[in-house]
Amino acid sequence: MTFRDKLKEAEAFAEERGCKLLYNEPLGPHTSVKTGGKCDLAVISPSAEVSAEVFNKCKAIGLYSMVMGNGSNCLFSDDGFRGAVIIPAPKSGKISIEGNIITASAGVQLSAVCAFAQEHSLSGLEFAYGIPGTVGGAVYMNAGAYGGEIKQVVKSVAAMGTDGKLIAFTGDELGLGYRTSRFERSGEIIISASFELIEGDKEKIAEKMGELISRRRARQPLEYPSFGSAFKRPEGTYAGLVIEQSGLKGKTVGRAQISPKHANFIINLGGCSSADITELIELTQKTVKENTGFDLEPEVRLIPAEP
């Protein structure tokens, strides 16, 4: 089967399931750092279940594909993506509540779940307010901030296996570690996640969320496109600290810069390329290793144009 034949088969399958198809779609607007070339096919999916079905179909016919959430940790090549990128349609997810458990579809913005919890006087997700990305991405990466992480509050996750069957995982079965989960390796696609929270005071929860978002605005370069944290925390120290100690704060490659405000943020100054960012990541790793002995591992997913 030729590449064109694979693409046509994927297109027909996705259309049958109510997806919107975009051809030669620029990927930059779909990511938080705003870089990357064009993909052959962008599939705008009406639900997480459909996203998983389309992904499994692409895999079965040998078409390079991926499911993307908010694109907050994705660095696509300037050469684009030779295949299909599956993206949730805006506001396609659902949030529900039963007692002190909130369940949200994978495509729902994490901050929306935090706000929903606050509205229902449920505490435990305050740390996540302001984290860019979706519920699916947050579980996939075990997102965290300010001493909290998804691992502490996730009760269960529904996913679709490569055989198309739905699977339910308890929190203990998710393999959640520092910015990692079983889903990085398994090929399973997250459909939804349930969070077990505790009753709290609605006003105090709002106050805590406001405090944390103010800290973000004061300490992070939110006025520029970025990934959030660019590197994982090295054992025994902080990525931003060793980057700053290596004299790299404010370092620029092309239109990519290590933020003068927070050294673990790589920002797009405008007109930045993915190649600029990749070069800056590699330069940072090399310089930090030489100056401090620490090995920096990117939180960013570097996505090649072809498998």
pLDDT confidence band for 92 (50 / 70 / 90): confident
Percent of the chain past pLDDT 70, that is, above it, reads 100
Helix%, strand%, coil% for the chain, nearest 5: 35, 25, 40
Say if CB 54 and CB 19 are below 8 A apart: yes
Average pLDDT, the chain: 96
Enumerate the active-site residues. Answer: 179, 229, 299
Residue 50 has a pLDDT of 96
Residue 265 has a pLDDT of 98
pLDDT confidence band for 90 (50 / 70 / 90): confident
Residue 162 has pLDDT above 90, yes or no: no
Residue 261 has a pLDDT of 96
Which pair of structure tokens corresponds to residue 178?
């520092």
CA dihedral (232, 234, 236, 242) positive or negative: negative
Residue 91 has pLDDT above 90, yes or no: no
The domains located in the chain, with CATH, are: 3-88 (3.30.43.10), 95-218 (3.30.465.10), 221-303 (3.90.78.10)
